[in-house]
C-alpha cells in the first residue's frame, strides 16, 4: 500500500486481506486523510477515482461492502447514487481540503471501449482485469500521472504475471500474500482479535487440490500451477552473463559476456516455414552444468538468414560449436522444387556463405525429454543455493523469448490433478524453445566426439 510506485499490485490468497487493502488505499486518496506512517504519494486536493470489479452482482457488492466498512461516517458528502443495476456506483466523498472527491464503479462485464474518455487520478482493479480493459482504463491516468493498483487472487489473466509481477520497471511494485499473512492476531489500536486462525486455514486447505492450494491459499498464479516445468524459478535459473563471465583470459574468457572458450558448445535449431526460427546456443562447464547463453528468434526469415545470423555471432565471439542439432520433424521435410530436405538446404546455404555447418537431428522423444529437462532444473528449494545444491541448467537473463516460452509452456486445457489425463499434451503455443530444451536434455552433447567415416552420408549414421 505504501509503495511510491505508480502501479502497485497485491496478489493475494483467499481471505488474505487484499480487498481491504485496496479499499483503504482508495479511501485515503478520496478523503486526503493519510496515516502518519504514509510515505507514498498524497493528494492535497479532491481526487477523481475509478474502481473496477468483476461484475455488479457479486464483485461490486464486495467492493461496496469494504468501502462502507472503512469510510468514516463524516466523510460522506451525500448518499451514493445507484445505477441502472440497482448498485451504488457513484460516490461523493469529502476531502480534507474542503472539496469533494468523486469515484465511480465499473465492471469487466462492460465493453473496454466504455472505459475510454475518462480522466482521473487513480484506479483500483479488484480481481484480475482483462488486459484490453486495463489498457483502456489507465489511458485516463496519463494527464495527471495517476496511480493504479490491483487487489486480486491470480486465478486468470496470465498477462498480469508478465507485465506486472515480473516487471523490471521501478514504477511497478507487487507482492504475493499467503493466507497466513492474515493469521490471527490482536489489533494494537482496538485491542480486538482479527485475522484467521491456523485451524480454519488448515480446514480450508484440506478441501483444495495441490494446484488450487498454490493459488487460493498461497496467492500464486494459477496458470503457473498448469506450467509443465514447475521447477523453473526465474530468480534461480537465470544469470547475468556479463557478471558471470567478465573478460578473464586465465579462465578462458576471451570475450566478455561469453563462456570460456574451452567449454564445449552446441547449437539447437527449430526452423519453420511461416513462424519465427528458434535458435539456442548452450555450453557445458567442467561440472557438467548447462548454460544457455544466446538465442535467436528470427521472424520473416529464410534459411539463408539462419546461416547469416549464426555466422555473425559465432565469428564475432571467436567460438567453435562442437555439434548442431535440428528439429527432426521439420528438418526431414523435403521441398518439392528441389527434392532436398530442410537439413540439406540449410547445409547448402552454409556452404554458399563459406561457413560450412553440419546438423544432426535432435531426439524427439518429447515425454522423456520433458522429464530429463525437468531433472536439469531440479534443486532443493528448502536449502540455499550452493555448490552442492543448484540446478544443472541456467539461462542468461537476456534470453527474453526463451524465458517467456519456458514460463508459458503449459498443459493443454489445464485441469486439476484430479481430472488430468496422464497422456495430456502441452498447449500448442510457446513450444519452440521448449522443444529445443527436449533435444538438449537428451543430447549429452558434451560427450560428443566428431568422427569421420568413409562414404557419403555416413555422418548421419546411414
Check pLDDT > 60 for residue 194.
Answer: yes
pLDDT at 458: 42
Share of the chain above pLDDT 70, in %: 94
Q: CB under 8 Å to 26, separation ≥6 — which residues?
A: 49, 51, 67, 103, 122, 124
Strand partners for 9: 150, 174
pLDDT at 447: 87
CATH of 234-460, one of 2.120.10.30, 3.30.450.20, 3.40.50.1360, 3.30.420.280: 3.30.420.280
Give CA–CA dist 402/151, Å, rounded: 30
Q: Express each pLDDT in 196-216 by its tens digit.
A: 899 999 999 999 887 788 888
Predicted confidence band at 453 (pLDDT cuts at 50, 70, 90)? Answer: low
Check pLDDT > 70 for residue 119.
Answer: yes
Check pLDDT > 80 for residue 225.
Answer: no
Alpha helices in 167-302 (DSSP H): 198-205, 210-216, 222-225, 234-237, 241-244
Q: What's the mean pLDDT when you consider all of the chain? A: 91
Q: Which residue in 36, 62, 176, 82 sits closest to 124, CA to CA?
A: 62
Choice among 231-235, 247-251, 283-287, 323-327 with the minimum mean pLDDT: 231-235
C-alpha cell at 422: 496422464
pLDDT at 462: 37
**Domain ranges, ordered by start, for the chain:** 7-225, 234-460
Mean per-residue pLDDT, 348-357? 96
Choice among 2-6, 224-228, 256-260, 273-277 with the minimum mean pLDDT: 224-228
Check pLDDT > 60 for residue 422.
Answer: no
Q: Which residue has the higher pLDDT, 259 or 220?
A: 259
CATH class entry, domain 7-225: alpha beta
Amino acid at each position: 500500500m505504501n509503495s511510491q510506485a505508480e502501479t502497485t499490485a497485491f496478489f493475494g490468497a483467499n481471505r488474505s486481506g487484499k480487498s481491504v487493502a485496496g479499499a483503504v488505499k482508495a479511501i485515503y486518496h478520496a478523503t486526503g486523510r493519510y496515516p502518519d506512517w504514509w510515505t507514498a504519494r498524497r493528494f492535497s486536493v479532491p481526487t477523481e477515482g475509478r474502481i473496477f470489479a468483476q461484475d455488479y452482482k457479486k464483485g461490486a457488492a464486495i467492493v461496496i461492502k469494504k468501502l462502507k466498512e472503512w469510510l468514516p461516517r463524516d466523510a460522506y458528502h451525500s448518499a451514493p447514487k445507484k445505477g441502472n443495476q440497482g448498485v451504488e456506483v457513484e460516490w461523493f466523498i469529502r476531502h480534507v481540503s474542503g472539496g469533494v472527491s468523486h469515484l465511480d464503479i465499473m465492471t469487466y462485464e462492460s465493453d473496454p471501449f466504455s472505459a475510454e474518455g475518462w480522466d482521473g487520478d487513480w484506479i483500483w482493479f479488484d480481481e484480475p482485469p482483462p488486459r484490453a480493459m486495463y489498457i483502456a482504463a489507465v489511458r485516463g491516468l496519463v494527464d495527471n500521472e495517476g496511480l493504479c493498483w490491483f487487489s486480486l487472487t491470480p486465478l486468470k489473466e496470465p498477462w498480469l504475471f508478465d507485465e506486472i509481477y515480473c516487471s523490471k520497471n521501478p514504477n511497478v511494485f507487487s507482492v504475493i500474500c499467503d493466507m497466513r499473512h492474515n493469521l490471527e492476531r490482536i489489533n494494537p489500536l482496538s485491542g480486538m482479535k482479527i485475522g484467521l486462525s491456523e485451524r480454519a486455514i488448515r480446514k480450508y486447505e484440506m478441501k483444495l487440490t495441490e494446484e488450487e492450494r498454490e493459488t487460493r491459499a498461497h496467492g500464486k498464479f494459477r496458470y503457473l500451477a498448469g506450467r509443465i516445468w514447475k521447477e523453473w524459478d526465474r530468480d534461480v535459473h537465470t544469470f547475468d552473463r556479463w557478471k558471470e563471465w567478465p573478460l578473464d583470459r586465465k579462465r578462458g574468457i576471451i570475450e566478455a559476456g561469453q563462456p570460456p572458450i574451452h567449454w564445449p558448445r552446441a547449437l539447437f535449431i527449430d526452423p519453420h516455414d511461416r513462424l519465427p526460427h528458434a535458435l539456442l546456443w548452450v555450453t557445458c562447464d567442467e561440472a557438467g552444468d548447462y548454460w544457455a547463453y544466446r538465442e535467436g528468434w528470427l521472424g520473416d526469415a529464410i534459411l539463408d538468414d539462419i546461416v547469416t545470423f549464426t555466422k555473425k555471432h559465432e565469428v564475432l565471439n571467436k567460438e567453435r560449436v562442437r555439434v548442431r542439432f535440428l528439429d527432426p520433424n521439420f528438418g526431414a521435410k523435403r521441398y518439392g522444387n528441389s527434392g532436398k530436405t530442410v537439413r540439406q538446404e540449410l547445409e547448402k546455404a552454409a556452404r554458399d556463405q563459406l561457413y560450412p555447418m553440419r546438423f544432426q537431428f535432435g531426439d524427439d522423444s518429447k515425454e522423456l525429454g520433458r522429464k530429463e529437462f525437468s531433472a536439469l532444473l531440479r534443486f532443493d528449494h528448502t536449502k540455499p543455493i550452493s555448490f552442492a545444491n543448484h540446478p544443472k541448467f541456467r539461462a542468461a537473463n537476456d534470453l527474453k523469448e526463451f524465458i517467456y516460452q519456458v514460463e508459458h509452456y503449459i498443459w493443454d486445457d489445464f485441469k486439476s490433478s484430479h481430472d488430468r489425463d496422464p497422456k495430456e499434451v502441452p498447449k500448442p503455443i510457446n513450444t519452440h524453445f521448449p522443444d529445443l530444451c527436449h533435444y538438449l536434455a537428451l543430447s549429452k552433447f558434451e560427450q560428443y566426439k566428431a568422427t569421420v567415416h568413409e562414404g557419403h552420408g555416413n555422418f548421419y549414421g546411414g
